[in-house]
Amino acid sequence: MSPTPASLLTIFGATGDLAQRMLLPSLLALQRDGLLPPGLRILGTARSEIDAASFRDATAQAIERFMPVADRDEAALRGLLDRLDYVPAALGDAASFGCLAERVRALRGGGDVVYHLSTAPRLYGGICTMLDAQGLAGPGTRVMLEKPIGHDLASADAINDGVAQVFEEARIYRVDHYLGKEGVQNLLALRFGNALFEPIWNARHIEQVQITVAETVGVEGRGDYYDDYGAMRDMLQNHLLQLLCLTAMEPPSQFDPSAVRNEKVKVLRSLRPIGRNEVAQETVAGQYAAGAIDGRAVPGYLDELGRASRTETFVAIRAHIDNWRWARVPFYLRTGKRMPRRWTEIYLQLRGVPHSIFPGARVEPNALVIRLQPEERIELQLMSKTPGLDRGGVQLSRVALDLDMHEEFATHRRRLAYERLYLDAIEGNGTLFVRRDETEAAWQWVDAIHDGWRAQGLAPKPYPAGTWGPGSTVTLAERHGHSWRE
């Protein structure tokens, strides 16, 4: 039976940073465009002992602070605030959960409920158990889980097991907000809505792939969290591996939760393990030192953190997918904080022409560039004749067929990732959420690299803020005749 749209969204951690920056602004945008189900109520809960009126005030302030003026709308804000309610609840305080349960029962009115857990993940199991004990986790309820689910496979298993005691997998929606991004979904449209790419989308025609998620920000007051995770667990295990899956997966037979996720998990399970004997050759970990970004001096990671640390803020990996489609094609993955610019991109470089008929002309390989952030564009790099009379032979230049998605769809609103994710969760569509076997396969691969680093005593190498990582990153690609995009 397919789920019915929820009549209640309950957000745990509703006073937190994510709620203020992303969740509440996304709900306002949906309200503004009339996309929330008419009767939907939104119940916030957290430990803060505030009442519903204060929560509404805090919401209005968060909107003012984090939502661009052009996207705000007074009537929509009033409409959103009318939907909001708040009850404080603390795990371990059964009485507070009793009050929460009473409110959930009153507000859902027999309809479906989405619980969005945006608290410390170690609390997820306990929250689900409490919901169950209150009779609030039965049919018609589903749960959204924020990352990071675990720190490694064992801790992820413990969290997933706790939630699975109460909710079966089809009712668990693990969030990777990259999957809510328009550009990321367009990757599927590009691959599977065009016949042009499929014939060349394989090892016979593709020489190398690069996936870069570069950020200019540092750890921004999140040092305590970040220091336990590092770039590998915070970004690579989830966002980059999801981008890798969408780039490398086989065509699913349908755009539905099972078909899409079945194909993604096959990619993750085909990743060639990188263990203690390979880490030195196939990975680079870095940590930013003081430097400058856009002409502004910024401190190093250790200064920001205020203590010694071996946590990596940058990681680069040369990965391989051992299957027929991708045999021997390197997938270079790279992510870091304090890079020279914010830049998320998938780059597929094709193999060169088999034989050049233009002696003396430089024939560069074609490439497809899918830029996801900050702009969304698709660029096909081609060789073209340089205009001229060719007295010294034909000369070639690299040119680009360049599609700016924002210009192309100028009349369409740019959506926040959570707008899409909330709508899908409210409507009960799990396609853009991560299934348990995907997170497990991703952790398994990432854990082996961590074990390898530990076994080899490898510490991250420093790189000045505002550069593309430690010098050895260049060697990682150059050893194999490739160079990073910059």
User: Would you please indicate which residues are annotated as catalytic (active-site) residues?
Assistant: 239
| Shortest CB 7 distance to ligand BG6, Å | 29
Q: Does 282 contact ligand BG6 by CB under 6 A?
A: no
Distance of CA 384 to the CA centre of its chain: 36
Question: Which sign, positive or negative, has the C-alpha torsion 381, 386, 391, 392?
Answer: negative
In the complex with ligand BG6, the residue whose CB is nearer, 96 or 212, is 212
Could you write out the DSSP letters of every residue in 385-451? EPSS--TT---EEEEEEEEEHHHHTTTSPPPPHHHHHHHHHHHT--TTSB-HHHHHHHHHHHHHHHH
Query: Rounded to an integer, what distance in angstroms lies between the CA atom of residue 87 and that of residue 396?
Result: 67
In the complex with ligand BG6, the residue whose CB is nearer, 234 or 376, is 234
Site string for ligand BG6, 216-255 (x = CB under 6 A): ------------------x---------------------
| Shortest CB 337 distance to ligand BG6, Å | 7
In the complex with ligand BG6, the residue whose CB is nearer, 40 or 339, is 339
Hey, which residues between 359 and 398 contact ligand BG6 (CB under 6 A)?
373
Cα–Cα nearest to 157, from 404, 436, 419: 436
| Shortest CB 413 distance to ligand BG6, Å | 17
In the complex with ligand BG6, the residue whose CB is nearer, 112 or 345, is 345
Cβ proximity of 50 and 88 under 8 Å: yes
| Shortest CB 418 distance to ligand BG6, Å | 10
Hey, which residues between 146 and 165 contact ligand BG6 (CB under 6 A)?
none
Q: Where are the alpha helices (DSSP H) in 33-93?
A: 52-66, 74-83
| Shortest CB 63 distance to ligand BG6, Å | 19
| Shortest CB 116 distance to ligand BG6, Å | 16
In the complex with ligand BG6, the residue whose CB is nearer, 234 or 419, is 234
In the complex with ligand BG6, the residue whose CB is nearer, 112 or 215, is 215
Query: Rounded to an integer, what distance in angstroms lies between the CA atom of residue 272 and that of residue 281?
Result: 14
Cβ proximity of 137 and 112 under 8 Å: no
DSSP H or E stretch at residue 477: helix 472-478
Angle of helix 436-456 relative to helix 257-270, nearest 10 degrees? 20
In the complex with ligand BG6, the residue whose CB is nearer, 118 or 349, is 118
Distances from the Cα of 327 to the Cα of 46, 204, 205, 277, 283, angstroms: 49, 9, 11, 21, 19
Q: Does 215 contact ligand BG6 by CB under 6 A?
A: yes
Query: Rounded to an integer, what distance in angstroms lies between the CA atom of residue 430 and that of residue 408?
Result: 29
Distance of CA 327 to the CA centre of its chain: 26
Tell me the number of residues near ligand BG6 by CB under 6 A: 3
| Shortest CB 22 distance to ligand BG6, Å | 9
What does the CA dihedral 371, 373, 374, 378 come to, rounded to 10 degrees?
20
∠ at Cα 284 (238, 280), nearest 5°?
A: 115
Residues at the interface with ligand BG6 (CB under 6 A): 215, 234, 373
